Amino acid sequence: MRDLLSLPKAHLHVHLESTVRWATLREISAANRVEVPAHAGTFGDFASFFARNDLVRACLRRPADFRRIAYEFCADESAQGVRYAEVSFTAAGHGERLGDLGMPLQAVLEGLEAGQDAFGIECRLILDHSRRRSVERAWRTLDLARRHERVIAVGLAGDEAHPGDPFTEVFAAARDAGLHVVHHAGEGEGPASIRQALGPGRAERLGHGIRILDDPDLVAEVRERGIPLEVCPSSNVALGFAPSLDAHPLPVLREEGLLVTLNTDIPALINTSLTTEYANVRDTFGYDDRTLAELAGDTVTASFAPPETKTRLHSEIATWLNSA
């Protein structure tokens, strides 16, 4: 078996606020006078996850905080063999919270640029918007996205019990502006969530999408359209959307001919990494190196990376597979 750290990878579904090193969070929280536990601990359900996520967000207040977590994201991803990443960030939520709409995004972009130069990784941003929040904030998210070339996409995140229909005009405008659209769908809710995301929601990829198997007609449609799924096995298990890794639908999704990508979603909160995810699917599903290389290649194919980046990464993956 080849070394999985050296497998060149793309990473498409990962939330910046959920990548923060706990030691970093402790230092930032002390500077900003926010009380944080000494250890990350665990959470047992979706509600406790949201509480933990809110704690992380509350610690982030100064431009230096946002620059640091973006820079350290680049360092940590590069160390995992990630060559290209599309990282999600809730820019408007932070900006409204801090009374400066543009500051958090600008600081994150500065941190990513410095991190790219230092660690040889290529990063783009996806600005997400919680379904629980207002349409007005979604428009502000789109306005922020339009201002920066490195922001390539926008989309909905959060509890899928909140419908996506109120936001359809926002995402139609995003597509008209040349931005990509990616929604979380088909994780907590079923096929109706996916149909809304792909129809009125204008999505080009599905964040999660694991509930697609509940509807064979939808499987056929998504397969025919080549819509990629951003699958995050350890996150699905930790949040209760899959009973275990053994029972995770990832292999069935691939067997159905769907374009499956492998991701972490919330790595710092569940103590995983992208290399760990590849090791997990190798060990759990018996995937050999060729299958893992296919999975890595499919993730590159599904990305919004420039064509030259995709060509280079496919070549690097082939070199890895052909190595002794």
What amino acid positions are annotated as catalytic residues?
Answer: 187
The dihedral region occupied by 100, where left means phi > 0, alpha psi between -120 and 50, and beta the remainder, is: beta
Tell me the C-alpha distance between 313 and 306, whole Å. 11
| Joined tokens for residue 75 | 């360092």
DSSP conformation class of 221: H
- Buried b vs exposed e over 50-79: b needs ≥16 C-beta within 10 Å? eebbeebbebbbebebbbbbbbbbbebbbe
